[in-house]
């Protein structure tokens, strides 16, 4: 048995039968029996208990840059660290990813949940995602449209979940840079440079979000829910200060942090699991928490939000039981 505790940032105690590190040769995949879990840096996966199969840790490193007249093309292997890639771009005058600074995790995991922060989502920069079909060993190249990106969503979470392993991500970053500083505290920056946005995003994240190095967590535990305009209008009668972000003509996105905060659940503890006191969308593990306690906390929050606001919160993190993904 191999310990998974240091391999996922939530840090629950868990083991797997087998653990295999893969760099650039993915041919081994064909000979591995299910259940199989593919892991990057483990910042969006929580192992709730021992995993009854093989965990593949993706460690493939390397990147190339090609310069074209109006954009840079970056081809990055999936085991690279996301934040280091953002820093590399900043140092080399390639701007656009600065709003996505300090998001934990690997490059290969980033398209799966279409990482996003402060008004920017990764899919704005993705040209292609290269992956290998686990059963056949064949390489597949998916163009941006084929990845079916949505808010914290992609084909890799749906039809292709568990079927492919992402080996490379190809980004196109336009040379013409435009600041994206409309979100929250970024709006106070007037005509900011890319470096100023980068510094501000790093400062906000460091101030608000707990560092997994200090306390176990996996970032936002829930997604921000979509609600219909009609439902939102009825909620506003009872909670006039309920914020929302526009999505389309029919629906708005509501901050789950506000709903949880409003229920007085900030700081709530169940055993070693806590609802974070300054960003309640994040659940933490003080090192003694268990999978059962985490499920109890998540279900408690979900039930309270459902009964008060008639809104169903979906988990954003992958919850992994002994055979694979489990539902809340
Ligand atoms: N809020 C409260 N009380 C709080 C905290 C927040 O009411 O204690 C409300 C406020 O109205 C605030 C709003 O929630 O304006 C939004 O809060 P915040 O800007 O912190 O962002 P979020 O919606 O909670 C999302 C992402 C984060 C991302 C930030 C910034 C999701 C699930 N989460 O959080 O992503 O960093 O926006 O863009 O979309 C992650 O995915 O792991 C993650 C951290």
Domain encompassing residue 124: 63-174
Cβ(257) – ligand 1 distance below 6 Å: yes
Residue 214 has pLDDT above 90, yes or no: yes
**Same-domain check for residues 119 and 162:** yes
28, pLDDT greater than 90: no
* Chain Cα centroid distance, residue 1: 27
Catalytically annotated residues = 152, 220, 316
CA 46 – ligand 1 centroid, Å: 20
Q: Which of 28-37, 48-57, 244-253, 276-285 has the lowest mean pLDDT?
A: 28-37
Average pLDDT, integer, range 152-167: 96
Asked whether residue 102 falls in the same domain as residue 140, the answer is yes
The count of domains in the chain is 3
For residue 68, name the pLDDT band (cuts at 50, 70, 90). very high
- 220 Cβ below 6 A of ligand 1: yes
In a domain, 112, yes or no: yes
pTM: 0.96
Mean pLDDT value across the chain: 96
**Looking at residue 77, which CATH number applies to its domain?**
3.30.465.10
In a domain, 291, yes or no: yes
Task: Provide the pLDDT for residue 26.
Answer: 84
| Domain match, 39 and 53 both | yes
Ligand 1 atom closest to residue 205's alpha carbon, by position in its atom list:
36
pLDDT of res. 25? 85
Domain of 291: which CATH number? 3.90.78.10
Whether 208 is in a domain gets the answer no
Q: Please give the distance, rounded to the nearest whole angstrom, from the Cα atom of residue 87 to the centre of ligand 1.
A: 23
Instruction: Report if residue 144 sits inside a domain.
Output: yes
pLDDT of 127: 98
Q: Where a domain ends, among 12, 41, 58?
A: 58
pLDDT at res. 32: 86
Question: Dihedral angle at the C-alpha atoms of 72, 78, 84, 86, nearest 10 degrees?
Answer: 40
Domain with 17 in it: what CATH number? Answer: 3.30.43.10
Mutate to test the pocket of ligand 1, among 41, 186, 277, 281 (most ligand atoms within 8 A of CB): 281
Percent of the chain clearing pLDDT 70 (strictly above): 100
State whether the beta carbon of 42 lies less than 6 angstroms from ligand 1.
Answer: no
Regarding whether 298 and 251 lie in a shared domain, the answer is: yes
Query: In this structure, is residue 107 part of a structural domain?
Result: yes
């Amino acid at each position: 048995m191999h310990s998974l505790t240091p391999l996922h940032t939530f840090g629950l105690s868990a083991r797997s039968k087998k653990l295999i590190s893969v760099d650039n040769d993915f041919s081994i995949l064909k000979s591995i029996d299910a259940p199989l879990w593919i892991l990057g840096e483990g910042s969006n996966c929580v192992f709730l208990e021992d995993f009854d199969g093989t965990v593949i840790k993706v460690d493939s490193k390397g990147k190339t840059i090609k310069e074209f007249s109006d954009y840079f093309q970056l081809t990055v292997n999936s085991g690279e660290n996301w934040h280091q890639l953002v820093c590399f771009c900043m140092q080399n005058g390639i701007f656009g990813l600065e709003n996505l600074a300090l998001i934990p995790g690997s490059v290969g995991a980033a398209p799966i949940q279409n990482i996003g922060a402060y008004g920017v989502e990764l899919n704005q920069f993705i040209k292609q995602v290269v992956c290998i079909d686990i059963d056949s060993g064949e390489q597949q190249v998916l163009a941006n449209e084929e990845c079916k990106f949505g808010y914290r969503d992609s084909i890799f979470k749906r039809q292709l979940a568990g079927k492919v392993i992402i080996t490379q991500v190809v980004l196109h970053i336009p040379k013409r840079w435009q600041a994206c500083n409309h979100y929250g505290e970024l709006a106070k920056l007037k005509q900011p440079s890319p470096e100023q946005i980068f510094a501000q995003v790093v400062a906000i994240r460091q101030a608000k979000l707990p560092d997994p190095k200090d306390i176990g967590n996996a970032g936002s535990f829930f997604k921000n829910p979509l609600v219909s305009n009609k439902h939102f209008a009825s909620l506003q009668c009872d909670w006039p200060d309920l914020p929302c972000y526009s999505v389309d003509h029919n629906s708005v996105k509501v901050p789950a942090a506000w709903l949880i905060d409003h229920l007085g659940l900030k700081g709530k503890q169940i055993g070693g699991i806590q609802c974070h006191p300054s960003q309640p969308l994040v659940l933490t593990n003080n090192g003694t928490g268990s999978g059962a306690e985490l499920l109890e906390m998540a279900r408690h929050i979900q039930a309270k939000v459902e009964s008060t606001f008639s809104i169903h919160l979906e988990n954003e993190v992958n919850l992994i039981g002994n055979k694979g993904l489990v539902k809340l």
